[in-house]
Chain A
Amino acid sequence: MPEALAELQRWMLGAILGGGDAPEAVRGRIAGNNRLGPEGRLAIYAGGYRSRLLESLQNEYPALRLLVGDTVFELFARSYIAAAPPRHFSLYDYGARFAGHLEATRPADGGALAGLPAALARLERARAEVQRAEGMERRDPSWLTAEAALLPGLRLALPDSVRLLRLDFDLLPLIEASEQGGEAVVPEPGESLVAVFRSGYRVRQLRLEPWRHAWLEALGSGGADAFGAAAAAAARSGRDGGALLADLALWLPVAASLGLVTRAA
């Protein structure tokens, strides 16, 4: 590895991330002309770096942008960009830790709504992941026959294209407003159990009753016995096991047709 090349690359990337360098350092390394000097040329790359990452976050978090407005969203994004330069070859990966950054930097005395941006970012990241995941579109929709449903030994799992979330706000109206070009409504605080999934290549989200959320959670991506998961869901949600099984027998075909469950490998 040519050391001079490595040194030059370390310097240039540092200057891009830092927004520039001392004029003499720039002029010693970069040629300029009458129209545009070395500092101006380096500034094109420094500005482009921030714009590209900002645009990537804007594309991935449209509902958060709608909720907080362009100026505050840009403050969030620039804070994240400064704290977490990209480490992965894919720009898609870049947004993965945005929600965590918002959570870590939320104001301590911000009241009940302080956690809202991070919660919304978690939901939007889940949507982005589901959009790219292996879905159920290629599966025969009749894979779970009425006869097979809830037979002893039936092992089910969450497909890659399902994410289960436990949120502190009801965010679905906001997602809907974002998708339809509507106006933002500030969500009310309160627990909201949500499944993000894909059906016919379209990303959707569904509010779940606690027992359904608990049952899907008990299945997990690794899969579990449907009866065992039902017992776990009954214990967790405080419902009677028999009544829950009866409800599950009715709901399971719907869940299967929506792509919320698949047969475990």
Chain B
Amino acid sequence: MARSDPAPACPPRLGLPNLGDGVGLRDPHFTQLMRTDPADWGVDWFEILSENFLDHRGYAAHVLERVAAHRPVVMHGVSLSIGSTDPLDGGYLDKLAELAGRVNPVWISDHLCWTGIAGTNSHDLLPMPLTEASLAHVTARVREVQDRLGRPLILENPSSYLQFAGAQMPEWEYLGRLAEESGCGLLLDVNNVHVSAFNHGFDAALYIEALPAERIVQVHLAGPRDCGTHLLDTHDSPVLEPVWALYALAMRRTGGVSTLLEWDSSIPPYEELLAELAKARAWREAEPARA
């Protein structure tokens, strides 16, 4: 069932810019980025994992300073734990704000998940129960974070390997309502949609069709691992063909949003990363013919 697309209550991408095509800033590429002219970096923007740079004053911070001087940067976190029933971590939010002051990110994102409770942190993106009560809880916390950071929060759909019994809505409805009720934006990870669709047996295209397109600010691309019984979101391989098709669908629905290739394990040389990223442009340009 596709979303009925009422008149959008906000401008496309929440009014945030389409930054073009970017990659994650990762250690193995630091030397190359420091030795090359920024004109030859081959990307429009970079995404950083916020936690890699909080309280960091070493070489990574030095590289980030150079990168941020020459390209737009987006901060992407994994520790906000927006869905936890623990109080929000004020110390973490203060450090995020401090990093934002140094980097001037175009936006700040994290995941629809919880990472721990009672002070214990799993360092994993754990799934939310898809219930009205949990939606109300997360909506209130997103508003609190946005007030604190003074900007809209952008939330990503995580890959998941389990769904709780007693779900009252599908994930796409949960995310769409969360965005509309809290004012947050969405980071649509099309690989995560593919992974979760395989793991839970839903229609990935329907998921993307049902999201409020004007709330989608950014897209993530990555490659998963096939474990036989399930797909695992490993970010260690090229983007799969069906994920490219979902990407093209997302681009068609949104009219174009910032695209980011994630590669976090078995990271290839920078040139190979750029070659994979270049496929995004090819898919976008081929999309009118496919439509």
Q: A residues touching B (Cβ–Cβ < 8 Å)? A: 1-2, 4-6, 8-10, 12-13, 16-17, 28-31, 33, 35-36, 38, 40-42, 44-45, 48-49, 52-53, 56, 85-92, 94, 131-135, 137, 160-161, 198, 201
CA distance A54 to B122 in the complex (A): 13
Residues of B within 8 A of A134 (CB): 57
Residues of A within 8 A of B164 (CB): 8, 29-31
Return the contact of B122 from the options A31, A49, A88, A90 (Cβ within 8 A). Answer: A49
* B58 pairs with A12, CB closer than 8 A: no
* A30 pairs with B85, CB closer than 8 A: no
* B133 pairs with A5, CB closer than 8 A: yes
Q: How far is the CB of B32 from chain A (nearest CB, A)?
A: 16
* A45 pairs with B124, CB closer than 8 A: yes
* B162 pairs with A16, CB closer than 8 A: no
Nearest to A41 among chain B residues (CB) is B162
Nearest to A12 among chain B residues (CB) is B126
* A36 pairs with B230, CB closer than 8 A: yes
Main secondary structure of the interface of A (DSSP, over half): helix
How many residues of B are counted as interface, with CB atoms below 8 angstroms from the partner's CB atoms? 46
Residues of A within 8 A of B120 (CB): 13, 17, 85-87
Interface members, chain B 175-214 (any A CB < 8 Å): 199-201
* B129 pairs with A5, CB closer than 8 A: yes
* A35 pairs with B85, CB closer than 8 A: no
Given contacts A10-B118, A133-B57, 5 further A-B contacts (CB under 8 A): A8-B129, A89-B115, A90-B79, A137-B62, A201-B58
Known contacts A45-B126, A87-B120, A135-B57, A36 near B79 by CB under 8 Å: no
Q: How far is the CB of A256 from chain B (nearest CB, A)?
A: 19
* B117 pairs with A132, CB closer than 8 A: no
* A35 pairs with B230, CB closer than 8 A: yes
Residues of A within 8 A of B116 (CB): 13, 86
Residues of B within 8 A of A91 (CB): 51, 123
Residues of A within 8 A of B91 (CB): 89
Known contacts A44-B232, A201-B58, A16 near B122 by CB under 8 Å: yes
Nearest to B227 among chain A residues (CB) is A44
* B51 pairs with A90, CB closer than 8 A: yes
Nearest to A201 among chain B residues (CB) is B59
Q: How far is the CB of B143 from chain A (nearest CB, A)?
A: 15
CA distance A113 to B117 in the complex (A): 39
Q: How far is the CB of A48 from chain B (nearest CB, A)?
A: 6
Q: How far is the CB of B77 from chain A (nearest CB, A)?
A: 9
Main secondary structure of the interface of B (DSSP, over half): mixed
Nearest to B118 among chain A residues (CB) is A10
Residues of A within 8 A of B57 (CB): 132-135, 160
CA distance A134 to B119 in the complex (A): 28
Q: Quick check: is B282 within 8 A (CB to CB) of the other chain? A: no
Q: How far is the CB of A66 from chain B (nearest CB, A)?
A: 20
A-B contact pairs, 12 of them (CB 8 A): A2-B137, A10-B117, A41-B162, A49-B123, A86-B120, A89-B92, A89-B121, A90-B54, A90-B79, A131-B59, A161-B58, A201-B62
Interchain pairs with CB closer than 8 A, number = 125
Q: Quick check: is B7 within 8 A (CB to CB) of the other chain? A: no
* B85 pairs with A6, CB closer than 8 A: yes
* A44 pairs with B161, CB closer than 8 A: yes
Q: Quick check: is B66 within 8 A (CB to CB) of the other chain? A: no
Scoring B123, B131, B133 by chain A CB atoms within 10 A of each residue's CB, the highest score goes to B123
Residues of A within 8 A of B134 (CB): 2, 5
* B137 pairs with A28, CB closer than 8 A: no
Known contacts A31-B162, A49-B122, A40 near B117 by CB under 8 Å: no
Q: Quick check: is B45 within 8 A (CB to CB) of the other chain? A: no
Known contacts A5-B137, A10-B117, A134-B57, A89 near B89 by CB under 8 Å: yes
Return the contact of B162 from the options A10, A45, A201 (Cβ within 8 A). Answer: A45
Residues of B within 8 A of A161 (CB): 58
Q: Quick check: is B70 within 8 A (CB to CB) of the other chain? A: no
* B124 pairs with A52, CB closer than 8 A: yes
Known contacts A10-B118, A16-B122, A137-B62, A38 near B55 by CB under 8 Å: no
Scoring A13, A30, A88, A94 by chain B CB atoms within 10 A of each residue's CB, the highest score goes to A13
Residues of A within 8 A of B167 (CB): 31
* B58 pairs with A133, CB closer than 8 A: yes
Residues of B within 8 A of A92 (CB): 51, 55
CA distance A16 to B120 in the complex (A): 11
CA distance A35 to B164 in the complex (A): 16
Q: Quick check: is B114 within 8 A (CB to CB) of the other chain? A: yes
* A132 pairs with B199, CB closer than 8 A: no
Nearest to B77 among chain A residues (CB) is A89
Known contacts A44-B230, A87-B121, A38 near B58 by CB under 8 Å: no
Nearest to B165 among chain A residues (CB) is A31
* B161 pairs with A45, CB closer than 8 A: yes
CA distance A91 to B115 in the complex (A): 12
Scoring A17, A38, A89 by chain B CB atoms within 10 A of each residue's CB, the highest score goes to A89
CA distance A135 to B62 in the complex (A): 11
